[in-house]
Structure 1
């Protein structure tokens, strides 16, 4: 809540420079961290960039719970809605999933920051897209094909970071499901 107006002001300052006929140069006159930086890149697929969790789950999960959660969460995640994952996993109070949930957005922030600083992606102006705009489309709209590609790379990084944690969680969940099935078989016998 506090950062939104400050980051929006940064984007508006960048736009004012463009309106004055200046070229935005990261590290000189342009603000790098803007509202688009936050909304379109560090909350990609929802807080924690959980779209990476969902894709990793769909790739490797054996647990019925995780498979179903991945399938049900994919469509909302494409619109940056990740409550099904946050509360369905749950990620909240889950020591296994807490680590990537915090690390992935931090890595994404560094990736985006340096992509802008080194001139690979242009600094953002005042153009904003609704927060529910799907990844890749939102990147393309605010920064062209390079920003869209940066979102793809960010999602790939998120999948790579979440993958070992999903495997750990899957072992736990799959073990619990096998134990529950054994207990049910014993009770019915």
Structure 2
């Protein structure tokens, strides 16, 4: 699950063009790598944000479904059941017993970035319009 926060931080950092998104992306990428999502959640904000709500719900469902499917067909090794918090995504796969788990985490992280991309761009356009409106008022 840690790669979900990492993917969200990467998407904000790569696709955010407004000053607000750039600042949140720079501040939140390192904590996101270690599974700490508070800078992202409170920096954008994510809570009660309809633009971000959809990928925030869909990505974990897709990650779980694909992880379960890849494990059930034997393409990815089974998890050892080690729960390690605040540990980078590749390291958690290795701790859980296999390099295939680490590769799956990387693949799911890339998929999550792709899923988040259009939503981050839409939110970024909203922030740019808000900034332009505030500059016109001033």
Q: TM-score, normalised by structure 2?
A: 0.94
2-structure distance, mates of 1:157, 1:143: 23
The residue that corresponds to 2:54 in the other structure is 99
Kept in 2, the 8 Å contact 1:73–1:85? The answer is: yes
The residue that corresponds to 1:140 in the other structure is 94
Find out whether 1:44 has 2:19 as its counterpart. Answer: no
1-structure distance, mates of 2:85, 2:45: 23
1-structure distance, mates of 2:77, 2:114: 26
1-structure distance, mates of 2:96, 2:137: 54
Kept in 1, the 8 Å contact 2:28–2:40? The answer is: yes
Provide Cα deviations, 1:20-46, integer angstroms capped at 9, x if missing partner. Answer: xxxxxxxxxxxxxxxxxxxxxxx224x
Listed as ranges, the gaps of 5+ residues in structure 2 are none
Provide Cα deviations, 1:100-151, integer angstroms capped at 9, x if missing partner. Answer: 000000000011101110101122234x142111111111221321111001
2-structure distance, mates of 1:125, 1:51: 22
Of the two, which has the highest radius of gyration?
Answer: 1
Q: TM-score, normalised by structure 1?
A: 0.69
The residue that corresponds to 2:112 in the other structure is 158
Kept in 1, the 8 Å contact 2:18–2:124? The answer is: yes
1-structure distance, mates of 2:69, 2:105: 14
2-structure distance, mates of 1:123, 1:55: 27
Number of aligned residues:
138
Q: CA deviation at 1:181?
A: 2.1
Listed as ranges, the gaps of 5+ residues in structure 1 are 1-42, 185-189
2-structure distance, mates of 1:51, 1:63: 20
81-90 or 49-58, larger mean C-alpha shift: 49-58
Find out whether 1:76 has 2:31 as its counterpart. Answer: yes
1-structure distance, mates of 2:97, 2:66: 15
